[in-house]
Amino acid sequence: MAETDLPQLYLITPPEFDLCEFPARLDAVLQAAEIACLRLALATRDEDKLLRAADAVREIAHAHDVALVIDTHVVLAQRLGLDGVHLTDGSRSVRHARKELGPDAIVGAFCGASRHDGMGAAEGGADYVSFGPLSGESLGDGTLADRDLFQWWSEMIEVPVVAEGGLTPELVASLTPVTDFFGIGEEIWSAEDPVAALAALTAAMR
């Protein structure tokens, strides 16, 4: 597979992070690797925390010319002038988000392991669909997204697909031919050296 055909990297922030320490770690990763998009994926609903985190992260993302989207919060994406939103409820909010944010914003949808949700999101105007988790602790009902889902999607659907959640070098190697993006988050942030952890994962694409 040619270098240009390899999946792109989609970076996901940890669910919580220290504003004194995380921006430097993020900057190091963005300097070391070519990242297509960054997602602010904080677990908190505290608007003040979200605003401060978004300000800090946006400054670094835009310095590296990386698009920044935020989990769920369409209103905050508008207020903060972010590049778009990542929806976590499958296809349900895609049309609303697209209407609110306009044609130029990035609207992505996480669809678990559901082909049906993925197709609904694509029809609703999503720019990408993400499936996962791929291994480890699965969400809710214990379903994992398997390679067959990505294979089917890449053959049948034009909308780009992201593989995320529990990536390992083995899964990266297996999914490289059938996904457009790898969504990488805790796999690297939980490591002592995120840059080295990312390099180990991406080496498996080649």
pLDDT digits 0-9 by tens, 20-78: 999 999 999 999 999 999 999 999 999 999 999 999 999 999 999 999 999 999 999 99
* C-alpha–C-alpha distance, residues 148 and 158, integer Å: 16
Region at 201 (left for phi over 0; alpha for psi -120 to 50; beta for the rest): alpha
DSSP strand E in 24-104: where?
Answer: 35-40, 67-71, 84-87
pLDDT recorded at residue 140? 61
Q: What's the chain's average pLDDT?
A: 95
**Over its length of 206 residues, how does the chain's per-residue pLDDT go in tens digits?**
345 589 999 999 999 999 999 999 999 999 999 999 999 999 999 999 999 999 999 999 999 999 999 999 999 999 999 999 999 999 999 999 999 999 999 999 999 999 999 999 999 999 999 999 999 865 566 789 999 999 999 999 999 999 999 999 999 999 999 999 999 999 999 999 999 999 999 999 99
Give the pTM: 0.95
- Is the CA virtual torsion 116, 117, 123, 128 positive or negative? negative
Q: Domains in the chain and their CATH numbers?
A: 3-203 (3.20.20.70)
Name the strand (E) or helix (H) holding 50.
helix 47-63
